[in-house]
Chain A
Amino acid sequence: MPAAEVRPRHLLDFQGWSADRLNAILDNTDTMMQVLDRPVRKVPALQGLTVCTVFFENSTRTRISFELAARRMSADVVSFVASASSLSKGESLRDTVQTLSAYRIDAFIVRHEASGAAHRVAQFSGKPTINAGDGRRAHPTQALLDAYTIRQEYGDLAGRKVAIIGDVRHSRVARSNIELLTRLGAQVTLCGPATLLPRELAGEGVTLTTDARDAVKGAHAVMALRLQTERMDAGYLGSLPEYIAGYQVNEALLEHAEPGAIVLHPGPMNRDLEISADTADGPRSRILKQVENGQAVRMSVLYHLLVGRG
């Protein structure tokens, strides 16, 4: 890594993160995985630091993953859950963050339904901030754990083909994956009904198709995105049976993928909607592996953001 390169202070999206640095996070994830396999699943690296998870949008599993990651690195963790807080009393994001900062928090982990919220927390707090999902914009640690899971299978992302299928329009997971996977040299195909497939996402290394068979052709990994059933009411979708027939990730569709192709899903799943139950539980599925990897990836991200700032 060139010494002159500025080390990013936050992980809000992948802007400013070089491929080398991102690969270093994935490399160190191997070590974090080893830590999780030991009798003592904890290292003292972040001893004395306090990390605050600030979740304005409910996501117990992501919050638990981050909190465990921080604890396994020996950081102290406090969590701020918006519904149970003064936010319902009208406190602004700025006031909330400044109040929390007064407790001498060393890093913030933010989930918010509004795009850009994590950037504002970074700005208000002045502390290293990790975006745990903001609106439709980004969810970088999810993309990192997806990349790690693919890498675990194939050793490398360069030249790998990844199909992302479903509600691409509303997906921060898809956006972060596009950014990350292309930077690491993978080819991404986005697929979904035309109403859920924004044309502007096409670019270098990214192709769009409304035909799922086309999308999975030659794919090493197939990712199903969660479908919010509310999208139907909003007129994005005709009917569920129609969606299932065209876009469900199932065994019949996977016959068109690479023989060893793996299946990913960011969770929580709608079984038999965007993914068939037998595929979710089948030999191609790496969905539980993703959960396991997520914890280790987040440990590595915390290390990269918080160690060596002295």
Chain B
Amino acid sequence: MQLKASILTAEELRRALTRIAHEILERNRGAQGLALVGIHTRGIPLAARLAAKLRELEGVEVPQGRLDITLYRDDLSEIAVQPVIRETQIDFDMQPRRVILIDDVLYTGRTVRAALDALLDLGRPQSIQLAVLVDRGHRELPIRADYVGKNLPTARSELVKVKLEETDGIDAVELWERDL
């Protein structure tokens, strides 16, 4: 694989998250009644960072959850490798809350479809919104994000790598070309 371009630096990534936090507050008229749910793997640290920003801006502690969508994937009967199941943890009542689902990259929309189903089996939130760091296009389902850090037109042969301190030791978004 070959690195083609650096899309976001650490500083730009930080600013994108700050902007998303402001947009969340604007759209929801504050942080009351919100909850953040990160999708494994990198949605979880992103949710934690957004929660910290909301705390900083509004002084409100927004509950956080983590969601694993493995058992909800639509390709389980086709794939050759068995995916590792990770922890789902949502220990607040979703019923009175507006839940913001958080993932690093929005691509085909299939992960988000699975996440919506997984979330709704856990409870009935007031509403669900979607925040992503990068929207790279190529949707296969009618799904769109409410908050986007960076819109990035890509080719299918390309790979968007989101790197975060918590999981990868560095903050960066990169565009790579897959080997043929």
Say yes or no: A40 contacts B76, CB within 8 Å: no
Q: A31-B87, A307-B76, A308-B76 are in contact. Are A43 and B121 (CB under 8 A)?
A: yes
Q: Which of B74-94 contact A (CB under 8 A)?
A: 75-83, 85-88
Q: Which of A88-110 contact B (CB under 8 A)?
A: none
**CB of A34 within 8 A of chain B?**
yes
**CB of A77 within 8 A of chain B?**
no
Chain A residues whose CB sits within 8 angstroms of the CB of B87 once the complex forms:
30-31
Count of interface residues, chain A, beta-carbon cutoff 8 Å: 24
Say yes or no: B77 contacts A28, CB within 8 Å: no
Main secondary structure of the interface of A (DSSP, over half): loop
Chain A residues whose CB sits within 8 angstroms of the CB of B176 once the complex forms:
none
Distance (whole angstroms) from the CB of A307 to the closest CB of chain B: 5
**CB of A48 within 8 A of chain B?**
yes
Distance (whole angstroms) from the CB of B44 to the closest CB of chain A: 16
**CB of A304 within 8 A of chain B?**
yes
Q: Which of B59-107 contact A (CB under 8 A)?
A: 68, 70-73, 75-83, 85-88
Task: Output the residue of A39, A42, A48 with the most chain B CB within 10 A.
Answer: A39
Chain A residues whose CB sits within 8 angstroms of the CB of B86 once the complex forms:
31
Mask of B7-28 contacts with A, CB within 8 angstroms, 1/0: 0000000000000000000000
Closest Cβ neighbor of B75 among chain A residues: A310
Count of interface residues, chain B, beta-carbon cutoff 8 Å: 24
**CB of A155 within 8 A of chain B?**
no
Chain B residues whose CB sits within 8 angstroms of the CB of A46 once the complex forms:
76
Closest Cβ neighbor of B72 among chain A residues: A44
**CB of A17 within 8 A of chain B?**
no
Say yes or no: A45 contacts B80, CB within 8 Å: no
Say yes or no: A38 contacts B71, CB within 8 Å: no
Chain B residues whose CB sits within 8 angstroms of the CB of A31 once the complex forms:
68, 71, 85-88
**CB of B57 within 8 A of chain A?**
no
Distance (whole angstroms) from the CB of B159 to the closest CB of chain A: 21
Point out the residue from B73, B75, B121 that lies within 8 Å of A42, measured CB to CB: B121
Distance (whole angstroms) from the CB of B86 to the closest CB of chain A: 8
**CB of A49 within 8 A of chain B?**
yes
Closest Cβ neighbor of A48 among chain B residues: B77
By a beta-carbon cutoff of 8 Å, the part of chain A in contact with chain B is: 7, 27-28, 30-31, 34-35, 38-40, 42-46, 48-49, 73, 303-304, 307-310
With contacts A43-B121, A308-B81 known, what are 9 further pairs, Cβ within 8 A?
A31-B88, A38-B122, A39-B121, A44-B72, A44-B117, A46-B76, A307-B82, A308-B80, A310-B75
